[in-house]
Structure 1
Amino acid sequence: MNVQRRILAAVVAIGICIVLIAGKQAHAEVFRLAILHGDVEVFDYEIGVVKLALEYADGDHQLELVLLPRTPQERLLRLMEDGTEINVFFTGHSPAREQHFLQVDFPMTRGLLGNRIFITRPDMLSALQRVETLDDLKQFSVGSGTDWPDTTVFRENGFNVVSSTYANLWKMLENERFDIFNRGIHEAFVEIEQQRDQGRDLVIDHSVQVIYPFDYFLYVNRTDTRRHAILTQGLQRAHASGAFDSYFNKHPMIKRVLEDSKMSERKHFMIDNPGMSERLRNLPSDYWRVF
């Protein structure tokens, strides 16, 4: 009888384990993350933020990178609405995106993305060195993406903005269609090497820097409350534990930017972000960092 009871107990225990494993698998989600321009190198840091979120969230979730070169941001957002090819995307905040999608309320670069510097041609460097005021800087035409929130920010602040697709902007800069290409400070140092490898004679300006409150945020379909909750939980936990700060401070791209950009030696120009929502203004202050 004791043997029978032990066998029965073992069978029940195995059954419980199977149920638990099945339940865990049933609640695991696959995150198909769209990578803008298909450029894993440029967005290595942001991809790591998503991995960190999934690591600190409950459940055993999977991350798949979906590389979509030559696909504009707005097209990627429409694909996410469909939900078959991709189901999560990071992009610059805008009021329309905040309203149309579920936004994970955590600035992915702690506001570093709102520190904008410029890639230009070597012949423009001396003129940029003579810039003393914001009005001086506005004499330069600025290249920016057709569907980027940054484009609206620069235009609303009185800059002459020339817009096109990301790939075209590099050709246009090279062919003198505009003067300076607006880039996030942590993007420029990777991108300039890529462009030089393609034979383009372009440089990073070290004279000026434009700053406004701005960042990448994660977005999912408005009906996808499950993935939204997972990403929110993971980032909040990673932040509370100190893991997010550790990742930020140790990431090679961030470390290089903070060292090579020489922010303290630049002329800084603060401008307004007309798309800064109350929701973003009310985020915990320690989510952001002053650079």
Structure 2
Amino acid sequence: MRAALPTEPCRAGIERIHIDMPLPLQQTVWRWLLCLLLCGLLLPVHASDATAIYYPRWSDGDESRSNYMLAQLRLALDKAGSPLRLVPTHTSMEQERALVDLQHDKHLDVVWSMTSHEREERLLPVRIPLDKGLFGWRVALLPRERVDLLKHVRTLDDLRQFTAGQGHDWPDTAILQSQGLPVVVSSNYASLFHMLQARRFDYFPRSVLEIGTELQNPRAQQLVADPHVLLHYPTALYFFFSPRRPELAETVRIGMERAVADGSFEQLFKQQFAHSLAHLQDAERQVIELPNPLLPSATPLQRRELWFSPTQLRQTQVAPK
């Protein structure tokens, strides 16, 4: 095989090199080149816009669930002096898909999620709880006609008589199961509301920061918040970043620390959740404490300014470890 040195111009002004080879071999080479080109076009690649931070889009109708997290992320970037823009992915992503995508640095730059040993091994957390720990304070969603289902629940043993619904990849699922609580899971968040109404399970534990917004959604028209029981386990909702982007994680960490120090983090938190906190504190519910076997030892529980504690809720039932 020999490449001829002379070249001739193409109509587009690009020179074409003639290669002397048998026709069948030329056809094979062109097939391979076409295959490589198509593979290059189809392979997922990380967004190349260096001015943007890509985050996972929620499914239609649930976009407002990300408003607070995005506001805190924007605040952190502003405090760190970063000009980066926040851009959603083109399509929606369920939680585990987003975490895997982030781990492999494909399309995403940031995901917010409850922490666990496994997630902190795979990803870079910024250990400032966006929720101030309130994702671990849970009130059950119930069908309206079963509002008193948990009225006589006083202990963990009482609660074991009922089945909870959860996402299949949520840390909450493992936390509940570790205490012997029956759980039915789904891979789709929205379907859990329909499953509850169809009595595929008895109750759907939701964070006190989520339940108010969720009850306003049309799919929850026949649902109510349980007035009798409050579950609690220590946990934290963090921003997570790819191990390949430590500089981005550090930028957000610096910005969040500055926002905590000057009070703007707390101000934003109260603006978003004042109504939810008042409702939590005013309610008289039986509190059932659950240990969290997934909580990493690096969780900054000693930093009291990062956590919310509803001290009005005195009576508790502690689950055995």
Q: TM-score, normalised by structure 1?
A: 0.83
Distance in structure 2 (CA, Å) of the matches to 1:262 and 1:128: 19
**How big is the shift at 1:279?**
0.3
Distance in structure 2 (CA, Å) of the matches to 1:104 and 1:75: 20
Structure 2: runs of 5+ lacking an equivalent: 1-49, 311-321
Which protein is richer in helix relative to its size? 1
Cα deviation, 1:127-179, whole Å, max 9, x if unaligned, reads 31222222112211000100000000000011001111212211211111000
Please give the root-mean-square deviation of Cα atoms over the aligned residues, in Å: 1.8
Is 1:36–1:67's contact at 8 Å kept on the other side of the alignment? no
Distance in structure 1 (CA, Å) of the matches to 2:297 and 2:220: 44
Seq. identity, %: 29
Higher relative contact order structure (alpha carbons within 8 Å, sequence separation ≥ 6) = 1
Is 1:211–1:268's contact at 8 Å kept on the other side of the alignment? yes
Distance in structure 1 (CA, Å) of the matches to 2:240 and 2:65: 19
Q: 1:282 to 1:136 in 2, by over 3 A?
A: closer
Distance in structure 2 (CA, Å) of the matches to 1:68 and 1:178: 30
| Equivalent residue for 1:249, pick from 255, 260, 270 | 270
Q: 1:139 to 1:170 in 2, by over 3 A?
A: same
**Aligned partner letter, 1:285:** R
Distance in structure 1 (CA, Å) of the matches to 2:220 and 2:122: 40
In the other structure, the counterpart of 1:216 is: 237
**Aligned partner letter, 2:125:** Q
Q: TM-score, normalised by structure 2?
A: 0.76
Q: Does 1:32 align with 2:54?
A: yes
In the other structure, the counterpart of 2:6 is: none
SS at the partner of 1:110?
coil
Q: Does 1:88 align with 2:85?
A: no
Structure 1: runs of 5+ lacking an equivalent: 1-27
In the other structure, the counterpart of 1:265 is: 284
Moved over 4 A (4+): none
- What aligned pairs does 1:125-164 form with structure 2 within 5 A after superposition? 125-164=147-186
SS at the partner of 1:79?
helix
**How big is the shift at 1:282?**
5.5
**How big is the shift at 1:33?**
1.5
SS at the partner of 2:153?
coil
Is 2:54–2:108's contact at 8 Å kept on the other side of the alignment? yes
Give the length in aligned residue pairs. 259
Distance in structure 2 (CA, Å) of the matches to 1:266 and 1:236: 34
Is 1:104–1:219's contact at 8 Å kept on the other side of the alignment? yes
In the other structure, the counterpart of 2:130 is: 108
**How big is the shift at 1:189?**
0.9
**Aligned partner letter, 1:72:** E
Rg bigger for which structure?
2
Moved more, 106-115 or 117-126: 117-126
| Equivalent residue for 1:276, pick from 274, 278, 295 | 295
